[in-house]
Chain A
């Protein structure tokens, strides 16, 4: 009886908190995400076009090279301490592009440098990006198995 009362009380409290907690500003956040995310993709498109036109690579190769360049840019801006400032405003606009992936690799690597270059930098590098690789690669293998069986 008391236990049930308590869980009820808990539920009510959680509801109260949910209803009264200040909400993020959906509209401004989305505009920021849209504009910054879009601009990052325009930069990507520009890099892609330059590579495809000037280096004589195929479309797919140019796409891969573009991702390389974008990862470098994301990593460099993180190192310079700029990326977190963009991210504060842009939210998903700078998290979702591949530059954000680079940011999620570099930021813990820098943060844990004081714990050494093996257990600090190298081991912590993928605390945030690791899950992306694990789920991305695993799901691609599952898709591959299905594709193989259907063929």
Chain B
């Protein structure tokens, strides 16, 4: 069941992104910014959490899931460290992803060259 849920939730979030790109003048980078911010806000409002429970990876793998991790981390940080947690919580919770992006990104760029399109 978890696979079906992940497929549906993840698929639908991507369709939303597609509609935003095709229907408006937004480019991919703008859509990603909107999605990550929406993830933060929806998590803060308590809307994204049920979606994660239902969809599993379908909700955490798309970019709003990154916003979800940020917001969850901030809440946890504030609960544990008070004011300081506002600044440490978000990146702490997402540090793995950010570090992975930096390191893998760098390594891939060292090893591979872009290919021309045809």
Chain A residues with a Cβ under 8 A of chain B = 23-24, 26, 29-30, 32-42, 44-49, 63-68, 70-72, 75-76, 78-81, 84, 90-93, 95-102, 104-107, 109-111, 113, 117, 121-122, 125, 128-129, 131-133, 135-137, 139-141, 143-148, 151
Given contacts A66-B61, A70-B61, contact A110 B114 (CB under 8 A): yes
Interface of A, secondary structure class, is: helix
**Chain B nearest CB, measured from A101 CB (Å):** 6
Q: Closest approach, in angstroms, between the C-beta of A144 and any C-beta of chain B?
A: 4
Q: Is the CB of B13 within 8 A of A101?
A: no
Query: Number of A-B pairs whose CB atoms are under 8 Å?
Result: 277
Q: Which of B9, B20, B110 contacts A41 (CB 8 A)?
A: B9
Question: Which residues of B come within 8 Å of A, CB atoms?
Answer: 2-3, 6-23, 28-29, 31-33, 35-37, 39-41, 43-44, 55-58, 60-63, 65-67, 69-71, 73-75, 77-78, 82-83, 85-87, 89-91, 93, 96-98, 100-102, 104-115, 117
Q: B63 contacts which chain A residues (CB < 8 A)?
A: 96-98, 100-101, 132
